[in-house]
Amino acid sequence: MGGSLVRSKVILLSITLLTTEILLSCSAQQQPQPAEPPSSTPASSQEASTTPRPSPVRTSEPQHEQPSVGPSATAATSVPRATPYPITFSEGETSATVSGQLNAVDSHRYQFLGQQGQLVVSVEASQRISLTIALADKLLVRPPEGKSASWKGDLPAAGPTTVEIGSEQPTSYTLSVMLSSTSREAFVTLLEPEGGEVWLEGTTQTIAWHSYGIELVSIEVASGGKAWLVAAEVDATLGQYAWEIPVGLITNFGIAESNAMSVRVSSSRDPEVYDQNDDSFTVRCPRIQFSPGATSATVTGSLDAHGESYRYALQAVENQQMGLEVSPQSLEVDVWGAEDGSTWEIPPGERSVFVDALPATQDYFVTITNVSAESGVEYALTVTIE
């Protein structure tokens, strides 16, 4: 009897414990689990005494927020180039193509001077890229991302135009830009000289222009009055002309310089289509300068064959003595007083000339000529004034 009672109590205790375990297990299953991994903030001392639960690890998603790709994008491992890469168009061309390489989470910016008219931009890449276009900081378009993107539209005004390419993955790309003027009328725009330049007689300078709808251009130069024809029917697509400023362009008129020079480039077929510099530039004769306290100065140079010459201006005072000495003696030297017309010379085969008293206070022009038609020569000219 007593044994049966003990066994009954043990069975009852076992059933009670089993029921409690089942209830606890069901309660644990019904407890909601957190949707996000726990914060990385250190646990309190009370929590640290309990058995920690591992945080879920996501291998298919990045563990940090990725920056967006676009005008405000910053690379994760490098600093973007602050100054945009320039895009330039060859003379006579309205399109340009550039290639580049982006790192991960990287962007490249390009900038060019857009004219009012149609713009076509396209980019091809090996990975997904974004393309953003802005005119003078005004967003024009931001097309969807893809391995290729393009945009065609009108630029409402002229100004600096920015194209930005971005990617979250390393990729190579090719960018093409094409401009098209809304006006189909022929035009020419003078690029050089702009005005303010100082060019010397006897040197070669570049006259540059941009044109559309013109096959041939004529180039004229003026010094505040009548224009002189420099070149006619030059291929307009060349976009530039090397002007050899002739000796005497200014000094043949008895002046050492002119600061009222202008260049005019016009269509050879229609002179009404032209452009010229708004601000004048200067052409002057090279001047012989004396150091402070010195009574003589030496200039050197070189002359090609076939009678090439070079000219200097020299300021001197009435009744001063002047001596000139040239090397080699095969050169010819002429001296001309612009105001009174006085002249002297060192003929070929002689070395020097001496003037006992100068007739006037004026500019004297000294011209050196290579009379040989066979070879060039280097020269030295020494002038003494006392």
196 and 156 in a single domain? The answer is: no
Last residue of a domain, one of 252, 284, 316: 284
- The pTM of this model reads 0.54
CATH for 153: 2.60.120.380
Contacts of 249-252 with CB under 8 Å at 24 or more apart are 249/201, 249/221, 249/283, 250/201, 250/223, 250/283, 250/284, 250/285, 251/201, 251/285, 251/311, 251/313, 251/338, 251/365
Nearest to 287 by CA among 379, 366, 384: 366
In tens, the pLDDT along 326-364 reads 999 999 999 999 999 999 999 888 999 999 999 999 999
Whether residue 178 is predicted with pLDDT greater than 70 in this model: the reply is yes
Domain assignment present for 305: yes
155 and 208 in a single domain? The answer is: no
Higher confidence at residue 93 or residue 268?
268
Domain assignment present for 320: yes
89 and 174 in a single domain? The answer is: yes
Domain assignment present for 205: yes
Q: Which phi-psi region, left, alpha or beta, contains residue 349 (left: φ > 0; alpha: ψ -120 to 50)?
A: left
In tens, the pLDDT along 101-138 reads 999 999 999 998 877 677 888 899 999 999 888 887 67
Average model confidence (pLDDT) across the chain: 79
93 and 112 in a single domain? The answer is: yes
Last residue of a domain, one of 181, 201, 234: 181
Separation in Å, CA 116 to CA 119, 153, 275: 9, 11, 19
142 and 226 in a single domain? The answer is: no
CATH for 197: 2.60.40
Domain assignment present for 334: yes
312 and 276 in a single domain? The answer is: no
In tens, the pLDDT along 254-308 reads 999 999 999 999 999 999 999 999 899 999 999 999 999 999 999 999 999 888 9
Higher confidence at residue 145 or residue 206?
206
Last residue of a domain, one of 181, 212, 245: 181
Provide the domain count of the chain.
3
Task: State the pLDDT confidence band at 97, using cuts at 50, 70 and 90.
Answer: very high
Residue 135 domain boundaries: 85-181
The reported pLDDT for the residue numbered 34 is 37
The reported pLDDT for the residue numbered 124 is 92
